[in-house]
């Protein structure tokens, strides 16, 4: 029997990934809420991918053991892996929509500033 246990991995160690000296790492002109949403989404994706890595390792161990009960467990493990892949696709879809919306918002704000500047120069 396999003795490996599955643990839910932590997405990032505290303080890594999206902060510098405790402050969000936001490019000039960036919306802090947008960057926080991106960071949160990436953390969620990484967490699901880490979970899949652990599940795949367990499936491999179960397969190598050639023990019937472990092989049967692989069915549910593989189903969870497939469900997690669907989650990752959904999270990336959300990320794409958020990014597109942020770009459009940034462009609109830039155009509004340009229009205002042109009006003042007349």
**4 near 53, Cβ under 8 Å?**
no
Other Cβ atoms closer than 10 A to 103: 11
CA separation for the pair 57, 111 (Å, rounded): 51
Q: How many Cα neighbours within 13 Å face the side chain of 48?
A: 18
The arithmetic mean of pLDDT across residues 22-37, rounded, is 66
Spatial neighbors of 83 by CB under 8 A, at least 6 apart, are none
- Report the pLDDT value the prediction gives residue 33, as an integer from 0 to 100: 80
34-81 pLDDT, tens digit each: 888 889 999 999 999 999 999 999 999 999 999 999 999 999 999 999
What pLDDT is attached to residue 9?
A: 42
Q: What local confidence, expressed as pLDDT, does residue 27 receive?
A: 55
* pLDDT (tens digit per residue) in 76-115: 999 999 999 999 999 999 889 888 888 888 888 777 777 6
Domain parsing of the chain, residue ranges: 30-120
Has residue 30 got a pLDDT over 70?
Answer: no
Q: How far is CA 48 from CA 9, 28, 74, in A?
A: 9, 30, 18
Alpha-helix residue ranges (DSSP H) falling in the chain? 32-65, 68-120
pTM for this one? Answer: 0.64
Q: What's the pLDDT score for residue 5?
A: 44
Distances (CA, A) of 1 to 6, 54, 56, 62, 77: 15, 17, 16, 8, 16
Task: Note whether 98 and 41 are within 8 A (CB).
Answer: yes
């Amino acid at each position: 029997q396999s003795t490996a246990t599955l643990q839910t991995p932590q997405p990032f160690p505290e303080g890594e990934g999206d902060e510098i000296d405790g402050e969000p790492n936001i490019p000039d002109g960036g919306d802090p809420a947008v960057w926080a949403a991106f960071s949160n989404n990436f953390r969620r994706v990484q967490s699901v991918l880490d979970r899949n890595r652990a599940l795949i390792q367990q499936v491999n161990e179960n397969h190598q053991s050639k023990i019937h009960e472990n092989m049967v467990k692989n069915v549910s493990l593989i189903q969870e892996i497939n469900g997690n892949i669907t989650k990752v696709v959904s999270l990336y879809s959300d990320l794409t929509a958020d990014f597109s919306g942020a770009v459009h918002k940034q462009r609109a704000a830039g155009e509004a500033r340009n229009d205002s500047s042109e009006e003042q120069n007349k």
